[in-house]
């Protein structure tokens, strides 16, 4: 009996709005971010999904998104496990900087490499590969076994920690994952086979707002 894995990227944060590199910094959701989380939660409620457990990161924007989604599906008291393994990619020296200011300091090409290469980290930070190196073991030991037991599991996390999972689930190459942007607050529903491969994937909501 295989189960269901639902991935949701947190709604817009205050620093997303201000065009800042966020990483492990801990800003709140904006009003739009709250609305995005509510919309995603409502889409899950409309689909009739109920969860057995939820996972989120150590950062407020993901935790708040998780809380809002669970309220919308009528499970505000569901057991929720928080772990920094699901945190956003650490942008190191870029954290807190405006993206335009970073380009002015290091050059557009260098900042683009840090943002969009698979394995070149910014100074003091993580590459997408580094992020995956902490997300994947946590997924394999803590999340996947529950799904394979037939549970329905919610993971509310971040663009890059979730891209690390989507890369494995969707069997994307290093080049393909770099082109993928996950929309904020839009749930991705995976049905898994008994061998942990994907039986079906459904995106709940309008992807036209992806950014």
Active site residues: 10, 88
**Both ends of the chain: CA-CA distance in Å?**
35
What burial letters (b/e) apply to 131-150, b meaning 16+ CB within 10 Å?
Answer: bbebbbebbeebbbebbbee
State the Cα–Cα distance between residues 129 and 121, nearest whole angstrom.
Answer: 9
Q: Which of 146, 135, 142 is nearest to 52 (CA)?
A: 146
| 61 close to 29: Cβ distance less than 8 angstroms | yes
């Amino acid at each position: 009996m295989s189960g269901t894995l639902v991935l949701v990227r947190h709604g817009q944060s205050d620093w997303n709005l201000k065009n800042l590199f966020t990483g492990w910094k801990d800003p709140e959701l904006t009003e739009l971010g709250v609305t995005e989380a509510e919309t995603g939660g409502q889409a899950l409620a409309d689909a009739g999904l109920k969860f057995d457990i939820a996972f989120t990161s150590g950062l407020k924007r993901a935790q708040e998104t998780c809380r809002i989604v669970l309220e919308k599906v009528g499970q505000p008291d569901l057991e929720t496990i928080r772990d920094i393994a699901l945190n956003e990619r650490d942008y190191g020296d870029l954290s807190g900087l405006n993206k335009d200011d970073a380009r002015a300091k290091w050059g557009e090409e260098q900042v683009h490499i840090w943002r969009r290469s698979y394995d070149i980290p910014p100074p003091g930070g993580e590459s997408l590969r580094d992020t995956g190196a902490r997300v994947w073991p946590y997924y394999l030991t803590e999340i996947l076994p529950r799904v394979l037991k037939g549970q329905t599991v919610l993971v509310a996390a971040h663009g890059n920690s979730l891209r690390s999972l989507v890369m494995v689930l969707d069997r994307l190459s290093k080049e393909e994952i770099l082109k993928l942007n996950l929309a904020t607050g839009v749930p991705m529903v995976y049905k898994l086979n008994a061998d942990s491969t994907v039986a079906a994937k459904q995106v709940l909501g309008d992807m036209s707002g992806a950014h």
